[in-house]
Amino acid sequence: MTVYFDNAATTRVCPEAAEAALRVMREDFGNPSSSHALGRRARDILEEAREKTAAALGGKREEVFFTSGGTEADDLALFGGFELMRHRGRHIITSLTEHDAVLNAAKRLQSLGADVTFLKPDGRTGAAPVEAVREALRDDTVLVSLMLVNNETGARNPVEEVARLIKEAGSRALLHVDAVQAFCKTDFSVKTLMADLVSVSGHKIHAPKGSGALWVKSGVKIKPMLYGGGQEKGLRPGTEALPAIAAFGEAARIGKEKLPQTGAHLRDLHDYTLARLREEIPDIVLILDGEPAILPLSLPGYRSEVLLNFLDAEGVCVSQSSACKRGGRSHVLEAMGLPAKVIDGAVRVSFSRENTREEADAFVRALAAAKARLAHN
């Protein structure tokens, strides 16, 4: 049996999304910008996917702009948002625990003249403290970017409180929320977040890779990064990747529909796996008890890459940190100020609605066996 517990990296495409993609590739293959019948049908499919994605986000159809994934959506939010607001100031606030898509975009803007404040997380909760945002907020702050759920720890940032803070302070700064790890896993809407820009990704919710979206609040006219035709109202030009987008829309519809059951299932699986681990491996360290889709663990004194190789040989797929790190040390755990032994022994387990208790048992057995064998070497 293969146990796939790396769903924060990517998910298996659900049958409905796969069928939607195949249908577009084989039957409704027209260009959405073409005026003939196949083109009009393709345009209808594009708008249906936009409607489904908007409904899952709790926004309006015209506020959804399709991208190639979460990274492009994040980049579009930061570069486009900063370009829109730069006449008001050049100050950006983000945190040290953001995904590299945001961190590296912020660093690039910094090299181009932006003044960026990188907030240190609370070492206990892993979240950016609201008070830290308050202290960092300035008259020339034009953009605040915080992820909703951290992709390595499951920590949830208090973005709703940050949104209220921005409003109460009379700031005109845009609020961008990277909701890639939260979408269709935790209960939120763009209205409850009170954000201006929200990024989501298809391959984290059982759609194919290559699909994502940026929700842009009505009235916010961010600048494009690319220039070409008039697709996506000129904000993201280029012929739309319709098979991936159609699948994304279907996955978003199903994800929203199943969200109550998914949330309960993820919590049950998280708690069950943790309880079994504590029975079999008493010295296991729970790094943070955050959103249930992500279970960050550590075996201090062991090396993550060695543990992962052992688990891989046993048919268990987990990760060391973000998949984008390719095995590198976690900047998130370092920013939290965790001991080196905890960071070096870290393992990220991440669940989806498809996972089972049986798989959790197999994972626990494999990790216990890895610990026992490595302890004797």
The packing angle between helices 357-375 and 304-313, to 10°, is 120
The tokens for 123 are 């070492």
The packing angle between helices 242-257 and 15-26, to 10°, is 150
C-alpha 290/C-alpha 181 separation (Å) is 12
C-alpha 16/C-alpha 156 separation (Å) is 30
Query: What is the DSSP pairing of strand 64-67 with strand 212-216?
Result: antiparallel
Please identify which residue in the block is written with the tokens 């279970």: 295
**What's the angle, vertex CA 338, arms to CA 332 and CA 341, rounded to 5?**
110
The tokens for 357 are 């208790």
Contacts of 147 (CB under 8 A, 6+ apart): 95, 97, 98, 99, 102, 157, 177, 178, 179, 180, 181
Contact indicator for 65, 232 with CB cutoff of 8 Å:
yes
C-alpha 223/C-alpha 221 separation (Å) is 7
Q: What is the DSSP letter of 324?
A: G
Q: What is the DSSP letter of 65?
A: E
Contact indicator for 315, 257 with CB cutoff of 8 Å:
no
Phi, psi for residue 216 in degrees, rounded to 5: -120, 120
DSSP E strands in 62-140: the ranges are 64-67, 91-95, 115-119
User: Catalytic residue positions?
Assistant: 324
List the helix and strand counts (H, then E) for the chain: 13, 12
DSSP 325-351: GTTPPPHHHHHTT--HHHHHTEEEEE-
The tokens for 83 are 């370009």
